[in-house]
Chain A
Amino acid sequence: MSISDKELQDAFRRSQQIQKQNDTSSDKVNARIRANVLAHNKAKERENEKERMFVLVGSHIRAYFASSTLRFTAVAFAIVAMLGVYNIGVFQNRFLPSRQTAAHTVDIVHYHGFKGEDKLFANKTSNDYQARFNAYTRQYVESDLVAKAVTLQPATLQSQDGDWLLVNCKKQQVVVSENLITSLNINGRIQGDISVGANVALALDAQGRILSIKQSSKPLIC
């Protein structure tokens, strides 16, 4: 007797049942797969939740950047930043003394004064401009007084034998003692290489005393 399709079908179902009952580990296997599958589902759900959050945040950010709020915020930020920078500068100027000194330090000074004044102050390293000004003024006043007191007389050196013999415009002879010549020489008040026949200028003070003798390249006009 041949087996019909219906009998095959029944045998198949019976075999499935046997499989379910027979294999003691079947339930365990089933439970294990079920637990793993559901755990995977949960993990995927969490992942999807994160993705949804990112998408949501992303859409908010896109909307924000597309809106005019961003432009207003940018302008406000720029203003605040500028005010901040300005206030920092003000604060530094007011409250940081070192910076204040640095700001007023002058590297190069073009100083105008009398000839030789720079030599006068060569040894002074200080930047005390008040002292410089006082020294300048004093020098000026002294030189002005000298200019008023001293009178120049042209003369010609006639003889140099011991004492000097000078002849002025009025044909008067002026003798200068050896000691005075030495004293003037020591004080640097005889200028130039003066020899017999040289034209000189006699600087006399208010009392008519010789202050200095200067060589004159050209004959002075009497």
Chain B
Amino acid sequence: MSIGASLQNLFQGKRENALGVSERLMLQYSAKGDEASLAALFDLHNNKLFYFLRVLSDSTVAEDICQRTWIKVIENSHLFKSGDNFQAWLFTIGRRTLIDELRKSAKLEYNNDAVESFSSGELTKHAQSTIEEDVAKGLEKDVFKACIQQLPYKQKEALSLQLEGFGLREIASICGAEKETVKTRIRYAKDSLKTMLEKL
């Protein structure tokens, strides 16, 4: 083996070592299409994806979009490149699938500018009623979820992604927005959320 090839192998090995578990699993799945890798990826990420979609829609839509997202992962596995962040890739697919669905069913969530004009008092009131509904259904009181769901769509989308652990650059990439815009959305979202949580 030549020195060049050895060095290339060395760097490649290093790069593979630097990859996260999910990325390695996805590359393995992309190469071999083995079920075990896909099952492991599903177990690692599905709860987070479902929660993200749940915050942006409802249980039924979230379930449907979740399934469609994973099917897109299977169909487009060849598009995943070494060096990509798997979770960011997965959430990008999930977000786009959800937006397509919301546009198709003409739901208000995505383009509802009226929500953004609600006062914090009104938002708190909505959150309170959501909590009461959950308690009435016999579910554990989840104040945080009730409050974040009251935020405008783009704000709760950006904030959810940040709380999930994505950096500003990744969020901007997932949402297809400028980094500064994302920053602003997150700031507004946090302020509103904190206000609501303090009031409740």
Instruction: Identify the A interface with B (CB < 8 A).
Output: 2-3, 5, 8-9, 11-12, 14-16, 18-23, 25-26, 29-30, 32-34, 36-38, 40-42, 44-45, 48
Contacts and interface: CB of A to CB of B under 8 A. Distances in A.
Contacts of A37: 38, 42, 67, 70-71, 74
A14 B144 CA distance: 9
Contacts, number: 86
Chain B contact surface mostly: helix
Interface stretch (B48-56, B96-104, B121-129): B48-56
A86 B48 CA distance: 79
Of the candidates A9, A14, A18, A44, the one having the most CB atoms from chain B within 10 angstroms of its own CB is: A18
Interface of B: 33, 35, 38-39, 42-43, 46-48, 50-51, 54, 59, 63, 66-67, 70-71, 74-75, 134, 139-140, 142-145, 148, 160, 163-164, 190, 193-194, 197-198
A12 B46 contact: no
Contact of A19 (B46, B54, B70, B160): B54
B63 A41 contact: no
Contacts of B190: 5, 8
A50 to B, nearest CB: 13
B29 to A, nearest CB: 9
Chain A contact surface mostly: helix
Contacts of B70: 33, 37, 40
A44 B75 contact: yes
B163 A8 contact: yes
Contact of A15 (B63, B75, B145): B145
Contact of B197 (A11, A18, A23, A48): A11
Of the candidates A5, A15, A45, A48, the one having the most CB atoms from chain B within 10 angstroms of its own CB is: A15
A36 B46 CA distance: 13
Given A9-B163, A15-B144, A18-B140, A30 B46 contact: yes
